[in-house]
Amino acid sequence: MMTENEHTTEEEWKEKLTEEQYKVLRLKGTERPFTGKYWDNKEKGVYYCAGCGTPLFNSKSKFKSGSGWPSFTNPIDESNVHEEQDTSLNMRRTEVLCSKCGGHLGHVFDDGPKPTGMRYCINSISLDFKPKNKED
């Protein structure tokens, strides 16, 4: 996968991100369920990549999955996310990454609600949220 930020060094990422963000976005870590700031967020707005600011998910596609992580039926734009097979932890999963910076966001599963049947299970710490203006 080619990324726009492929020339950003690990030292630059460490300076830009918090230690927790770095562990998830750059080292493919996972926050504990029910601990992230957005797992139960019900505000309307857009979720952006915490690493580079790419718009990833609209609150309209967010649903309560019971998993403890923010879950979405689909990204804002398919080209803003990249999927790769993840065979770590002796499991076969599909990892979701930001297409622009390559940051680890979470995983996608095919057990979501209609219309897509998909559940993008995303770490809160990988996201920044901007609420919709009341005038919009």
The model's pLDDT over 78-93, given as tens digits with 9 standing for 90+, comes to: 999 999 998 887 888 8
- Whole-angstrom CA distances from 17 to 7, 20, 31, 39, 126 are 16, 8, 15, 20, 10
CATH 1.10.10.1100 fits 10-131, yes or no: no
Residue 6, pLDDT score? 62
Question: What's the number of CA atoms in the CB half-sphere (13 Å) around residue 43?
Answer: 13
Counting as low any pLDDT under 70, the low residues of the chain are: 1-6, 134-136
From CA 127, how far away is CA 38, in angstroms rounded?
A: 8
From CA 91, how far away is CA 100, in angstroms rounded?
A: 26
Peptide bond into 113 cis (omega under 30): no
Q: Hey, where are the domains in the chain? A: 10-131
Length of the chain, in residues: 136
H helices within the chain, ranges in order?
Answer: 10-16, 19-25
Structure tokens at 113: 């609600």
What number of helices (H) and strands (E) belong to the chain? 2, 9
Please, is 136 exposed, middle or buried when counting C-beta atoms within 10 Å of its C-beta (0-12, 13-18, 19+)? exposed
Catalytic residues: 121
Structure tokens at 60: 């309209």
Can you give the pTM of this predicted structure?
0.91
